[in-house]
Amino acid sequence: MTEHAPLFENPDRNLALELVRATEAAAIRATPFIGHGNKNAADGAAVDAMRKFLGTVNFSGTVVIGEGEKDEAPMLYNGEVVGNGRGPACDIAVDPIDGTSLTAAGRRNAISMIAAADRGSMLDASSVFYMQKLVAGPDLVGVVDIRLPIGENLRAIANARGRAVSELQVAVLDRPRHEDLVRDIRAAGAGTRLLLDGDVAGGIDAASVDGLFDICVGTGGSPEGVATACAIKALGGVIQTILAPQSDEERQRGLDAGLKFDHVYEADELVKSDNTFFVATGVTDGNLVSGVRRRGHIIRTESIVLRSHSGTIRRVIADHLAERWLDD
């Protein structure tokens, strides 16, 4: 029997609409757990649904960035191969629920997301879990610099946009480690929007032309930074990151893996490919996308689909027959 040849060498536009089926499935399956306090149950349902749907997609995807290693939650694990093997070879970054705690508490801004790019193009920063990040829109390329104090960046943004610093809104994860950063932002005169979780959505919002935030800054997960870079390459914005090891041992692991410290990783180093995809479906309502809604016999989802090669941003609203999603 003749082996199946790849249908195409590089990911094409059809892949984006295939991947969104997987994020829709994960979001729908997580919905019964919204507000019930069990983040692992929500994550487990989303993982199972995403894995099942990814298995039908025409590609050979290798999970370079999975979720769950940190807290032993359910996960699609690093190195797992997904897809039916009959399409392009891709790196993928997955998070069946970015914001499991938000989902469990019934709070805003939980999403299900997948990023994809040509095989071997995503930076494997798994040996160093945290990185400093700065994400902003296309008009701020060459204006902001993560190495500068936040006050200087805010004044540069205000000058570039012809606005007062007091009008700027800065997205920051609400974490104790950011107390000094938040104080400096407010001392400069800008306002903060503290995110309980989900700096991927925060970064995409900051890079979007109609976003609520002017910039997203702070220290968050390295996996999320690489996934965000896939979206930023489609939006034309700026992402700058600096690895932030939490111990000498973690720094050494990073050095052994070939990572660079005291170095600004920008979009083209985080993801070398110029053909990136980012898809996300809302689990709960948020600034980026609306959450899953049940309307009688219909389940409605909203997703965002970004592709760097074409520079397109699509929003996909889908109605699903609820009876097809009832548990057997």
Q: How confident is the model over 144-179, as pLDDT tens digits?
A: 999 999 999 999 999 999 999 999 999 999 999 999
Name which residue leads in pLDDT, 65 or 165: 165
Sign of CA dihedral 163, 145, 65, 118: positive
What DSSP line would sit under 156-211, residue for residue?
HHHHHHT--GGG-EEEEE--GGGHHHHHHHHHHT-EEEEESS-HHHHHHHHHSTT-
3-state secondary structure 23-71: HHHHHHHHHHHCCCCCHHHHHHHHHHHHHHHHCCCCCEEEEEECCCCCC
Rounded Cα distance, 151 and 292, in Å: 38
Q: Which of 108, 105, 97 is CA-nearest to residue 36?
A: 105
Residue 216 has pLDDT above 60, yes or no: yes
Residue 155: burial class (beta carbons within 10 Å; 0-12, 13-18, 19+)? middle
Q: What is the pLDDT of residue 74?
A: 52
Instruction: Compute the average pLDDT of residues 207-228.
Output: 94
**DSSP assignments along 99-139, one per residue:** -HHHHHHT-S--EEEEEEEETT-B---TTS-EEEEEEE-GG
196: nearest Cα among 108, 129, 282 = 108
pLDDT digits (tens, 9 = 90+) for 12-38: 667 888 899 999 999 999 999 999 999
Stretch 188-208: mean pLDDT: 93
- DSSP letter for 3, please: P
Say how many C-beta atoms besides its own lie within 10 A of residue 169's C-beta. Answer: 17
Q: How far is CA 195 from CA 81, 109, 110, 135, 290, in A?
A: 32, 9, 11, 14, 17
Work out the percent of the chain whose per-residue pLDDT is above 70: 92
Instruction: Match 């050494």 to its residue by tokens.
Output: 252
Taking the CA atoms of the chain, what radius of gyration do you get in angstroms? Answer: 19
In the predicted structure, residue 247 carries a pLDDT above the cut 70: yes
Residue 165, both tokens: 């610093």
Mean pLDDT over each residue of the chain, to the nearest integer: 90
Q: Which residues contact 161 (CB under 8 A, 6 or more apart)?
A: 139, 214
- How much of the chain exceeds pLDDT 90, in percent? 74
* DSSP code per residue over 252-313: HHHHHTT--SS--EEHHHHB--S--EEEEEESS--SSS---EEETTEEEEEEEEEETTTTEE
**Per-residue pLDDT tens for 88-134?**
899 999 999 999 999 999 999 999 999 999 999 999 888 999 999 99
